[in-house]
Structure 1
Amino acid sequence: MNERIYLDNNATTPLDPDVLDAMIGELAAPPHNPSSIHSFGQEAKKILTDSRNTIAGSLNVKPSEILFTSGGTEGMNFLIRGALSDPTSHIIASPIDHPCVYNTLEDLREHGAHISYLPIDSYGAPRVKDLQEALQPNTKLIVLSAANSETGIKLDIEAIATVAKRANIPLILDGVALLGKEPFSIPEGVSGMAFSAHKFHGPQGVGFVFVRSGFKPTSLLTGGGQEKKLRSGTENLAGIVGMARALTIFDEDEDFAHMKSLREQFEARLIEEIPDLEVNGEGPRLPNTSNLYFPGVDAESLLISLDMEKIAVSYASACASGALEPSRVLLNMGYSKERASSSLRFSFSRMNTPEEIEKATEVITALVEKLRNSTLTLI
């Protein structure tokens, strides 16, 4: 194969050329800091305000409810840690969420917080009844992911938000895997939500949080008092401009249909060639994500073999990379260690093509047959 095929878009997406152009224009501009009171600074402040308005409009929220961050990890840490005035608070969460959530909660547990993880089964997302049963008089926060980055399984945001609102408990959602994949709205019961630009064809290292009016997390970063004194530090103006541009060129309906078509083509072709192949997770999924179980195949060997064929896929969350351990997500869904060790994630974007999908399925089919017939494990 001469052309590389990128099927790991839940890890990061290619930068859109229009986004790059917008960022270059900002980087090439005269020096300007939004906090400066002279005309150069005021020009920068207007760019910042316009970008905030654009992002708020894309989510149908108030511009004052948008705060800029460096990405999903900072955003979720700010929303979670900033919401807790009592370090011994009771928090309800999910054991299958992204490491930026799970590891943050485990750190809080070590410092006295009480964490209740909701039960997860092969459906792949927390259920409303389990959330209702987990509520306690001292519950101070509910933290969940709007969509799982490994399986693509979606949370019933409306139903969960209704429970949180009735209980008068702040609900924090990790929206990083959701934005740019399909249309959604933020229900009233959601107090805060974090997003990251590089997951929707924007630049890496920049993101934003939605903070509902009336919800007042405390700042984690003190300094110049930027972002309403909630996130000090000079704003990444070029990144913010690129992020706003990425949202303006995203066509929810068209891109949703395209990614769903690619996923259906991908899964149908593989199931035709590999009949014992199974999809991990029974709940409704994002249109771009396939987490697949290949019985009798070592996932690490398949991943490396695909990489040698210039096809990029993932074993689990990119932010949990390092040693390839069986997915915590799949294990908590009740799947065996053997199944988790034979599963890979494939994730598509609007920039992928049907031709790429067809070629990828041909290569995957051949490699699965080869690995099943081999007694060797690739290292």
Structure 2
Amino acid sequence: MPRVYAKIKASLKIPKIIHLVGTNGKGTTGRFLASALYSLGFSTGHYTSPHILTFNERIWFNGENVSDTRLNEAHQKLLSLLDHQDADSLSYFEYTTLLAVFLYQECDYIVLEAGLGGEHDATAVFENILTLVTPVGFDHEAFLGSDILSIATTKLNAMQKKVILSKQPHKEVMQIAKKIAQEKNIRVADYSELLEAQDKEKIEKIARYHKLAYYLKENLMLSVAALKSLGISYEAEDFKHAKLFGRLSQLETNILIDVGHNTLAARSIYESLKENKYILVYNSFKDKNYSEILTVLQPIIEHVEIIAVEDERIEESTKLKKAIEDLQIKHTSFQGIDADKNYLVFGSFSVVETFLKVHGG
């Protein structure tokens, strides 16, 4: 990505970039911020990943997902800048990142969400005006390391110029951020340092309007802190269309869906739903700590219904069933929704995608 970008950089116009890194909450934080910027009159792009149903979800532009027509036009124009060897050398995510930035050239702001990494992520090659750090926890350990020090260092090495951190589940994250900031002469702030009483009142109003779970309100607070850092005034109404689908979303009166897939997400879900019990529609990738995730969710699980997902990364059913049985949780195969029961669909983007396709016929 750095090599290919260096070749075509002179041909691209790069707007002001706000870079998001972290483990959880990048998508909702980014959409809160991008929607508010657009509502305030700024032409804004939000690059997020992965998608649930269609690729276009990854490239949001001025209030809606990019159209197939614009996407195809940009695809052809971008390919004309790349020689065949360079185009073939880019990964799916790298090419998609370049495509999004190419589409966003006339924007005032790009809210650019990192993939699973930080300093080596495709999104890190672009110069940015602000880095936002969402909660950092355990995920993708095979790539990022098996301890918070390694994971946070990899993610936080992407920091540039100015940084705002959200509330962190591990105190080491802020310590590492301050260390890197001192070495690179970067300004670091905790999001709470930027929020005044009037901001908190607006945040509560927005949270009530969208019926936000606590962890989603934390993401909203980070996005508001970003506006404050940029010196942009706002009103609660500027967040009216800001909620991102698939993040503890109420699909029907008895169905909640969430694309979370790690322990940190499970803890946030538990804190938000701990007053009730749910049938958990679930499956997991092989590289996820599903035993720990199920342990966290166990107090709110009535029983588990395993949904069949067609993906080579999905864990073998016998291993998943054994983990569920070891926790003494009852399980069956997912067959459909009972209107008299409450359901939580959780486990990954693929689980939610499969459920939406099955449930929608």
The structure where helix makes up a greater share of residues is 2
Provide TM-score, normalisation by structure 2. 0.31
Name which structure has the greater RCO, CA cutoff 8 Å, separation 6+: 1
TM-score (normalizing by structure 1) = 0.30
